[in-house]
Structure formats: C-alpha cells, structure tokens
Structure 1
Amino acid sequence: MRNKLVYRIALIAILSALSCVLRFSLVEFPNVKPITALFLALALWLGFWDSLAIMTITMIVTGLILGFSPIILGQIFGYAVIIIIFKSISKFNQNIIFLSVIAGGMAFIFGALISAVSGLLYGFGSGGYLAYWIAGLPFDAAHAFSTLIFYPIIVMILKRIRPRH
C-alpha cells in the first residue's frame, strides 16, 4: 500500500514538472500549449483526481513564474470543468479522432470560461461578456488547434507507458 502511494505521488510530481516545462516551452506563442491536451489525456489515463492534481500544481507553479493573479484560480476552475466534460464524453466514444476533435472543442469552452472569470475580475466594459469573449476568439482558436494537434501525439506516448496503480 505504501509503495503505491509513493509511486502515485512521484508520478504526479513528475507529470506536473513535465506539464510546467511544456507550458514554458511555447511561452512565446499565445495559447499554443500542449498542456490542455495533456491534462485531458491524463484524465483518461490516470483518472480525474490525479489529472486535477497535476493541473492544479502546474497552474500554481507556472503562475508563480509567469505572473500570479486571481486568474490562476479561474484557470484551475476552467480546466476542472473541461476535464469533467471531456471525461464524461469519452465514456461514449473512445475513437482517437473523435476525442481529438472534442479536445479541441474543450479549448473553446475553456476560453469562454476564462473570459467570464476575467470579465468578473476586471470588468466587462461597455460591450458586455459577448464582446469580451469575441475579442478572445483568435486566442481560443489557436488554443483549440494546438490541443487538436497535440492530443493524439500525447495519447500515443501515454499508450506506451503503463501506470502501476
């Protein structure tokens, strides 16, 4: 029992470190990050709670380096929501192409949630939420496209690795 717990903690730590490196590796390109695809794939590979732990650690650690603000809590909330939705949808269809497209769609949902959180924190302005969300759509599209591309690559890598717990 103790070895399983140690293994699980080590796995979460290593995958959190990997997620941080992946987020930093493409910091020059707004919203082109493999971590959304990684979090979604990990939800299916390890389960919801481990994926949630990895995502939370990643967002806090990278937030400390890239700039910490209340939006980090919004990101954690947004990722938790899309992980739940993705995991629920994946129960009906395990086709990699289908899941890749759904993963890309999750990036748009994440963008909508972040727009809502940002609007609440910083004010919606005269245009309201819709204008705020539309202004962010190019970033959401880049996020969705990169998630669509990265998801099958990450799944192929994870299929070669077998967790012990």
Structure 2
Amino acid sequence: MRLSQLTTISLLAALAVVGRIFFQFLPNIQPVSSIIILSAFYLGPLAGVLLAITAAYVSNLALGVGIWTIWQIISWGIIGLIVGFIGMKCWNKPFMVVLTISLISGYVYGFILSLGTYTYSGTFFAYYIAGLPFDTLHAIGNVIFTILLYPFLAKNLPKQALS
C-alpha cells in the first residue's frame, strides 16, 4: 500500500468522522456507511475495513466509546469487506448496484449490532424489532448520502485503487 493510498483512506475517514459528528442529532442518519460503501466499492475490501475501523473508533472518541464500538467496527468492517469484493467483480460499477447495496447495508448494520447486544444483554428479537425503525432511517440515509457523494467519489476514487 502506497502513502497516497493511506492518505486517501485517512481523508475519507476524516470525512466520515466529521460527517458523523455533524449529523449526530439525526437518529441513524450519517454518511459513514455510504463513505465506507463507496470507498470499498472502488478501492477494495482492505480500504473498506481500514476505513471502518478508523471511522468508528475516532468518531466514538467524540461521541462515546463503549462495547458498541467493537460491534460498530465489526458491522462496518463486514460491510466494507463484502462491498469491496463485490466491487472487484463489477467492472462497470453501475450506480443502481451501489444504491441497492447502500439500502441493504442499513439493515445489515442494524442486524449485526443487535447480535452484539445479544452477547451482553441476552435479548435479541425484541431489541432487533425495536431497532427496525432506526435501521430504516439508516438505510434511507445511506441512499441519500450515496446519491450526494457518488458523483464526486466515483470520479476520484478509481485513480487511487488499492493493489
């Protein structure tokens, strides 16, 4: 990995952290997932995982670190990994594929966080059902941020593709 690639990931992580802090007043509507999805789609799974770890940890330093931080890293890391592998297989990178992934990722993120809650609370189903409205907001937010960020990131990220 070259220094320019690490710099790109660092800048994307800073964008994700600032975006998460800036939009903290809206429940589950933050640009972090969209930035991870778009970055992983164009830069690969390694970038997605590195971005997930950095964005979750650094933003939680400002918003509050707890056991949920580990599950946020796991959730965003899995999303970044899967999307990165999908991006490696999609040569033409269609916009609708990215939008669909963004929508589904909101629910995947919530499901994994619910699994994390189960590990220390012993309750899964009730917590997951209660969280579905927030997962829906997350999915909608992902789609909105993907629409807003896609033109810029799709144009500039392929130049930095990780090897």
Match for residue 158 of structure 1?
153
Give 1:14's aligned amino acid. L
**2: distance between equivalents of 1:17 and 1:94?**
25
Mapping of residues 71-86 of structure 1, within 5 Å: 71-86=68-83
Using the aligned pairs only, state the percent identity. Answer: 26
Report the CA distance between 1:131 and its aligned residue. Answer: 1.4
**1: distance between equivalents of 2:96 and 2:37?**
14
Match for residue 94 of structure 1?
93
Unaligned runs of 5+ in 2: none
* Closer, same or farther: CA 101–164 of 1 in aligned 2, 3 Å: closer
Report the CA distance between 1:151 and its aligned residue. Answer: 1.3
Mapping of residues 1-165 of structure 1, within 5 Å: 5-90=2-87, 91=89, 94-124=93-123, 129-162=124-157, 163-164=159-160
Do the aligned residues in 2 keep the contact of 1:86 with 1:103 (CA within 8 Å)? no
Report the CA distance between 1:46 and its aligned residue. Answer: 1.5
**1: distance between equivalents of 2:26 and 2:50?**
25
Unaligned runs of 5+ in 1: none
**2: distance between equivalents of 1:86 and 1:5?**
22
**Which structure is larger by alpha-carbon Rg, 1 or 2?**
1
Give the TM-score taking structure 1 as reference length: 0.86
Give the TM-score taking structure 2 as reference length: 0.87
**2: distance between equivalents of 1:80 and 1:25?**
22
